[in-house]
Amino acid sequence: MNRKRWLALVLFLLVLAVAVGLGRLAAPAKGEGRWQEAALFGQGEKVLLLELKGTIPTDKALEDFLSQVRQAREDESVRAVVLYVESPGGGVTETEAVHRALTALAREKPLVASFGTVAASGGYYAATAAREILTPPTALTGSIGVIATLPRVQGLLAKLGLEVEVLKEGRLKDMASGLRPLSPEEKAILQRYLREAYELFVKRVAEGRKMPLEKAYRLSDGRIYSGQQAVALGLADREGYLEDAARRAAELAGLQSFRLVRYIRPKGLFQALLGEESPLGLSSEAEALLKALSQARFRLEYRYLGGGLW
């Protein structure tokens, strides 16, 4: 083997070694799969802060949130939990998954919900799993209902000179595709689908707030409430903010003193040095827009749309 080939081989091995080393640096250290803790304030036994911010999580973000709930259940040193909600809601399936996990947690440890600026629709749905709900008087909540949007794209396709031919077996196979208007029969079918999701939401409100089902239905016409109104109507327990909720959770756990902690993801050295910038160089706003556009399809949501369609 001549000198050039030797040099090429050595260079290849060096690149391979660097790649392997960077991969190890990027990977979390020992304890992978477990969330680390960061103290926020106080001293004493642990009260954990879980944060439900933005649209109800999906995919990997949903898995991460559920794993935090699971770790909180399993960790005996976590004596109580505060759920901070700053969310307009999201998909019905994901919202129910979050609620079920939180309900299981609340059976074992005191769980107190604390509202931010907006805790509406699916955000409120998730909070009904808590033993108590605290809300700022000016928070926006309620919006108890279900909604579905269906983009109709046939007009846009016509302007672009595009035609879509659909081949199907099953008379209603292409309903809600957005390629043609819904027939009255299809609207009725989808409306029944919405009704089932709506009734589940009302049931969760009645169960969580320990109110008669009839009252829950009266409050569940989709309107929004201020935090002050929510307390008066029984949709929340009292006015308060995050620190108030943390103190209340500690009280329910019988703690004389407490420290509030949150979970953080373990990072390798490579991640710590370079941060978590988008590999495509996109801003968070652009990524959010692309994600929203990719989800522009028929789907049921417990979502408050007052802040915009997305």
Q: Given the structure tokens 């299809």, which residue do they identify?
A: 186
CA-atom Rg of the chain in angstroms: 24
Whether the pLDDT of residue 192 is over 70: the answer is: yes
Token pair recorded at residue 93: 């399936």
Higher pLDDT, 248 or 273: 248
Tell me the backbone φ, ψ of residue 139, rounded to 5 degrees: -65, 155
Within a domain: residue 18?
no
Residue 66 lies in a domain: yes
163: in domain: yes
Model's pTM, two decimal places?
A: 0.81
Q: Where are the beta strands (DSSP E) in the chain?
A: 36-42, 45-53, 78-87, 89-91, 111-120, 132-135, 140-142, 147-148, 224-226, 238-239, 258-264, 300-303
Confirm whether 121 is a catalytic residue: yes
Q: State how many domains the chain has.
A: 1
What mean pLDDT do residues 270-298 have? 52
Inside any domain, residue 261: yes
177 is catalytic: no
68 near 266, Cβ under 8 Å?
no
Task: Say how far apart CA 169 and CA 226 lie, in whole Å.
Answer: 49
275 falls within a domain: yes
User: 169: domain range?
Assistant: 32-303
Is 308 inside a domain boundary?
no
The pLDDT mean for the chain works out to: 85
- Alpha carbon distances (Å) from 295 to 58, 91, 149, 226, 287: 11, 11, 11, 30, 12
Q: What percent of the chain has pLDDT over 70?
A: 77
Which pLDDT belongs to residue 153?
A: 73
Considering 114, 121, 143, 220, which one is annotated as catalytic? Answer: 121
CA 112/CA 125 separation, integer angstroms: 14
Domain for residue 195, yes or no?
yes
Catalytic, out of 173, 278, 283, 291: 173
What is the spatial distance between Cα 95 and Cα 201, in angstroms, rounded to a whole number? 10
Give me the pLDDT at residue 29, please: 45
219-245 tens-digit pLDDT: 999 999 999 999 999 999 999 999 999
The confidence score (pLDDT) of residue 275 equals: 54
- Parallel, antiparallel or unpaired: strands 258-264 and 45-53: parallel
Model pLDDT for residues 13-51, shown as the tens digit of each residue: 665 655 555 555 444 444 445 899 999 999 999 999 999
Q: Is residue 174 part of a domain?
A: yes
Which CATH number fits the domain that encloses residue 63?
A: 3.90.226.10
Contacts of 32 (CB under 8 A, 6+ apart): 266
